[in-house]
Structure 1
Amino acid sequence: MFQGGLVFYNTALISEQDMRYIWTEEKMQRRALQFFYLGTSLAAMFDIPTTGDFLKALAQLLKEHESLTFPFNFDYVITTATLCDMIKQTYEKLYLELQKEHSWTVQTLDMFQKVDTRFKKILSLIYKEFEVLARDILVEELNSIDPLGLQASSLHDKDWDILANDRSPQ
């Protein structure tokens, strides 16, 4: 989705330009920095051999993730795409470890749950931004067409959200 090749839940094709419009550099600098550090730290952790140690390191990293601060500017779109790829690779590593070990201890499962919850928090923030962007794109698309022949009408300037709620005959 970050590379503009996928449609967000079969509703809107989101391009990199669309993402850059909503995620301005000034607005997203702190988060881009946090995502950069998190993504590069995840890459370094793939060499940790045991699942328990890997999960402990992940939990500690995710705990420290929110306290990082602005040495230089990062590109938010690229940094976020890279972070999502690193999170995907982290889950792939954990899945492969589970396949090797066939079962995890209660301690390992508890640590996985903590890590999974923190990743989901980060990804839900990104998801919500995509959802808002997709909704804006859809409203713009719908406002650009005239399915009911309303161009001559005074209703033409209204948003589709308003039209959907307006049931009175014209």
Structure 2
Amino acid sequence: MNGVNPLGYIEFGMRSDEIVSDAKLKLEYTPSPSLIPVQSQLKVYLNDELMGVLPITKEQLGKKTLAEITLNLLYFSDFNRLRFELIGHYQNSCEISTSNNLWLDIGRNSELGLVVQKLNLQNDLSYFPVPFFDPRDNRTNTLPMVFCWPTGGWFAASICNCRFVVWFAIGVAWSSISSFL
């Protein structure tokens, strides 16, 4: 993140058969050594609700810093967005937002730790294709399929498999599906 682009995002979905029971965001970040301590901050939002403000201290400037924020469970939904906003200052007046002094790097060792509880869904076809496929889940979906040997042989079974996978894939352009017979 920098002065011109002070926002960063992470988006993720929650399965309809799961609910979050605990959520912690562990951040590894490095602020620019040119930032003014305390006036410069990192704000963290979950679905546009402020979860925490991390003031940048003199000791953190130019060094990897670790922080942990507990996220409020009330603000989780089926689609979630974590937003990071750098409030950066490098001098007390006449700052230029394009200055190379305004930056903060969020490290790749940062992680979002979610503890989820499985919900018992009623055995109801109106939920279909859940739980086999959940459009809220952005992980790769594996669809194991078993077909009896059709009179048309292996080729006919492969055609049936392809049609089934295509049916699931129609609404999932952003996700991926793997299948095996």
TM interval, shorter chain, is: 0.3 to 0.5
Structure with the larger helix share: 1
TM-score (norm 2): 0.31
The TM-score with structure 1 as length reference comes to 0.32
Give 1 or 2 for the bigger CA radius of gyration.
2
